Chain A
Amino acid sequence: MPHDAHHHEEHEALVIEDEAGNIEAQIIVNALQEVLIGKGLLTAHEVTAAIAKLESPGIHLGAKVVAKAWTDPAYKARLMEDGRAAVQELDIPVTEARIIVVENTPTRHNLITCTLCSCYPRSILGQPPSWYISKAYRARSVREPRSVLSEFGLNLPLEVRLDVHDSNADMRYLVLPEPPADLASYDLAALEAMISRDHLIGVARHVG
């Protein structure tokens, strides 16, 4: 490999690990796990428990945050001011340095991506969907986000401003969707059930 800081193949090599079905990475992980278990530093049960813990957060936590914000204006104000603290108020342990909540309005839509890898508010939403970490989404969500949205079934009107947030560094983002027009006719549980992961990433817009 030439020692050229701008050599693009070198940048590519760094992100291949994130692709689903990467056989090479899987072989390395399996070998490492076998060695660690063989040496008695780790048990298979500990590995399974760690995976279960990683997978335990989920959309229900994000939905809880959004439904609370829709029905409690003071909470919503705190959420917009300091997302991490407001999420923690609901007894959701947040491991991310900061959570930035971006609000959809009739004239603004927000879309979250991570072009460099797969940054995602995992402590609230769990693991990202496989399309979120795909190279296609990561490249196209910034270059042609409106085409990507239309493939998700969302034809965003041109007069609605689209803000794409690339979570490339230390912040993690959560979209606050617009509440349904008949908000008052639902209880919290019904509201939470209407909110999907896609709403919180921004590939879906309308709730209800």
Chain B
Amino acid sequence: MTRFCEGDPVQVLALGKAGHVRIPHYVREHFGTVVGYCGTYLNPEDLAVGNTGGKAVDLYRVAFDQSALWPDEAHPAHDRLIIEIYDHWLAPATETEHAP
């Protein structure tokens, strides 16, 4: 059982981790919607320092409204950015926080 399902509203956390982190700054703290589940993968934050014995983590594809990510650019309202986010970087959000 995964923590999130397709269609769930989520927020990307700003964990402030150093090192080989695969969650770029431009999506941190933004609200998005889960659009797919990718399976479990070893955490790149562990792999980068040679720790291959860590627990595999759930990976999701999350969609964001481009107009919310880049408010200073002119993006049509339906344009999206879709990116992969590991479970520990996500928090559940309510529908009202995210209104795509």
Q: How far is the CB of A37 from chain B (nearest CB, A)?
A: 26
Q: Is A170 in contact with B41, judged by CB distance below 8 angstroms?
A: yes
Contacts of B25 in A (CB 8 A): 11
**Chain A 93-107 interface residues, beta-carbon cutoff 8 Å to B:** 97-98, 100
Q: Which of A18-26, A55-63, A122-130, A155-163 contacts B (4 or more CB under 8 A)?
A: A155-163
Contacts of B61 in A (CB 8 A): 100, 171
Q: Is A5 in contact with B79, judged by CB distance below 8 angstroms?
A: no
**Chain A 22-42 interface residues, beta-carbon cutoff 8 Å to B:** none
Cβ 8 A contact of B73, one of A144, A162, A167: A144
Does B100 count as interface, using CB distance less than 8 angstroms? no
Q: How far is the CB of A142 from chain B (nearest CB, A)?
A: 6
Q: Is A116 in contact with B24, judged by CB distance below 8 angstroms?
A: yes
Does A165 count as interface, using CB distance less than 8 angstroms? yes
Total contacts A-B at CB 8 Å: 76
Residue of B nearest to A162 (CB): B79
User: Which of B24, B83, B85: most chain A Cβ within 10 A?
Assistant: B83
Q: How far is the CB of A101 from chain B (nearest CB, A)?
A: 12
Contacts of A164 in B (CB 8 A): 66, 79-82
Q: Is A171 in contact with B38, judged by CB distance below 8 angstroms?
A: yes
Known: A5-B17, A144-B73, A168-B23. A97 touches B82 (CB 8 A): no
Contacts of B86 in A (CB 8 A): 169
Contacts of B80 in A (CB 8 A): 161-164
Q: Is B76 in contact with A161, judged by CB distance below 8 angstroms?
A: yes
* A contact patch SS: mixed
Q: Is B38 in contact with A170, judged by CB distance below 8 angstroms?
A: yes
Q: Is B23 in contact with A10, judged by CB distance below 8 angstroms?
A: no
Does B53 count as interface, using CB distance less than 8 angstroms? no
Question: When chains A and B are docked, how far (Å) is the Cα of A57 from the Cα of B78?
Answer: 35
Question: When chains A and B are docked, how far (Å) is the Cα of A11 from the Cα of B22?
Answer: 11
Question: When chains A and B are docked, how far (Å) is the Cα of A161 from the Cα of B63?
Answer: 13
Question: When chains A and B are docked, how far (Å) is the Cα of A93 from the Cα of B66?
Answer: 35
Cβ 8 A contact of A143, one of B22, B73, B76, B82: B73
What are 21 A-B pairs at a CB distance below 8 A? A5-B17, A6-B16, A11-B25, A116-B24, A142-B69, A142-B81, A143-B73, A144-B73, A145-B66, A146-B75, A161-B76, A162-B80, A163-B82, A166-B82, A168-B84, A169-B38, A169-B41, A169-B59, A169-B84, A170-B41, A171-B61
Interfacial residues, chain B to chain A (CB-CB below 8 A): 16-18, 20, 22-26, 36, 38-39, 41, 44, 59, 61, 63, 66, 69-70, 73, 75-76, 78-86
Interfacial residues, chain A to chain B (CB-CB below 8 A): 5-6, 10-11, 14, 97-98, 100, 115-116, 142-146, 158, 161-171
